[in-house]
Chain A
Amino acid sequence: MAELTPMERVLTVLSGKIPDRVPLFLLFSMYGAKECNMDIKEYFNDVDAVVDTQLMLQKKYHTDCLYTFSYASIETEAFGGDTIFYPQGPPNAGAPIITSSKDIDSLASPDVASSEPLRRILRITQKLKAAVGDTIPIIGVVMSPFSIPVMQMGFESYLKLLHKDRPRFNRLMQCNKKFCIEWANAQLGAGATAICYFNPLASTDMIEKGLYLQTGYPIDCEVIKNIQGPTATHLASGRTQSILGELAQSGTYIVAVSGKDSLANIKKTSPLTIMGNLCGISMSSWNKTETKQHVKAALELGMPGGRFILADNHGEIPWQVEEETLLTISECVADWGTYSREQNKE
């Protein structure tokens, strides 16, 4: 089979057919700053640096996507929050913008066009689209309305709201839903091919299934329906297996699974394309032999029948992962990720 472009490869997988080889998504956010030797905050503020680095990383590691994600709290910045930057790790949301549940009563959904940080992401998206056209998928990112409150008000306060104040929970969801749909569609309008829909709280590691199905799930289904492009639901390392059936019914195209999930079981039960599930944390200590072992094991479980994209399980390559490890992953995909002619005919 002739070598496909990354876009052709990914679209082949999404259509349920067998591509030339397994697509590789190495999701580089802050890792770009490491690669171009910049301070993380300066890097994310520099549109051209991010664009150039994304293009460079795609070529260097032979990955099959570009990734416009910078850090999760860029969305709470749009709500008036701030971000704390660290030298060698992902930025954290600053102090909660909702300090009392009463604040929710007057909370307004921010206007995407009025947020400079979000406009910066849109400029990155536009420039990447201008550079690659339809040859490489550009992945945008939103936080689910159900998960972003962890940053808006702190995890503990949000759990109390979820369990004890349903009217204000509903109001917060209305506000977040409007923002999420507008933000996702703005990215698609700027040239993103698909939206990575981060929703760690949908994992049964975080919220019990019954409560999620009653509260967050209908919201997620509605949002995904209103996003005018394909979505990949990502539980950011949270286990997926026990909620997989419901996620498959939510309208999403791809589900990213955890390193703690059994890829074999997931592949047996999921009608969707699966993305995963290399553990980013342990990846940061793998030597070359271990890297090969982990990639080989994931490919052996994930490749049969297609519908598989090799990626890390958190949606972000940690700063601490060695360049050699990433190069080895890429080499392994080239060596072992190719489908045979017989498999292509299946």
Chain B
Amino acid sequence: MIADVTDLTSQLVAALKNLDSLQSKQIMKTIENEHTDPYPVIEQILIQSLEQIGLEWEEGTAALSQVYMSGIIVESLITQHFKEARSHHPQDKKIGIVTLADQHTLGKKLVSMMLFAQGYQISDLGQGLTPEQIALAVSEQGIDILLVSSLMLPAALQVKKIKILTWGFYKNYCGWSSLPFESTLVERGWR
């Protein structure tokens, strides 16, 4: 009997939160043994598991350290075992990621790991950049989709400036912040 994807995802979430890389690998092996084309299933379970742990962090039932270490385990599983087999997400847009104005890079790393797990290629534009430097990098590197991370409130409020500086040649932004529960930032910084 083939194990249910939802069950396997729950098992993997538990293993990742316990930082149990051996159990995580065992779950992957179970899928490999049970499916003739296992990699789409593996990819789906890895992504759903990371998303689930991220949601649990927002709700207060997982810690940031678990989000990070889960990403590390998943990254390792992919690079060590599924590098050749994994599908690369069809990507006609160039994605850039940057930390705006401050030096807190963990958020950027977490999002990068998540996108890596989904098969995306990302260009790291750096950290501690000003809106002007980011606008220049976007233009020079031909970035189509820009992911902006910020931790400090004044930095989060500068996102508007990036939009103004790139107005007319750039339309795709995705912002997040370490202040995920603060809804007023959407109006004040991101729109």
Contacts and interface: CB of A to CB of B under 8 A. Distances in A.
Interface stretch (A54-62, A86-94, A166-174): A86-94
Contacts of A260: 60, 181
Nearest to A88: B154
B179 A239 contact: no
Given A156-B109, A205-B57, A92 B103 contact: yes
A90 B152 contact: yes
Given A281-B185, A282-B184, A206 B154 contact: no
Interface string B153-172: 11101000000000000000
Nearest to B154: A89
Interface in A76-129: 84, 86-90, 92-94
A251 interface: no
B153 A89 contact: yes
> Could you say which of B102, B103, B157, B179 has the most chain A C-beta atoms within 10 Å of its C-beta?
B103
B52 interface: no
A279 B65 CA distance: 23
B158 to A, nearest CB: 10
A311 B39 CA distance: 52
Contact of A318 (B57, B102, B153, B184): B153
Given A154-B105, A205-B64, A86 B153 contact: no
Contacts of B57: 205
Contacts of B181: 260
Given A84-B103, A279-B182, A208 B66 contact: yes
Interface string A231-261: 0000000010010000000000000000010
A291 to B, nearest CB: 13
B101 A86 contact: yes
Given A89-B153, A205-B57, A156 B68 contact: yes
A281 B179 contact: yes
Contacts of A159: 65, 68-69
A205 B60 contact: yes
B154 A86 contact: yes
A211 B65 contact: yes
A204 B34 CA distance: 37
Interface in B103-130: 103-106, 109, 128
A290 B57 CA distance: 28
B5 interface: no
B129 to A, nearest CB: 13
A320 B63 contact: no
Contact of A206 (B17, B63, B182): B63
Given A93-B103, A282-B184, A162 B153 contact: no
B35 interface: no
Contact of B60 (A92, A155, A239): A239
B137 interface: no
> Could you say which of A239, A281, A282 has the most chain B C-beta atoms within 10 Å of its C-beta?
A281
> Could you say which of A205, A239, A242 has the most chain B C-beta atoms within 10 Å of its C-beta?
A205
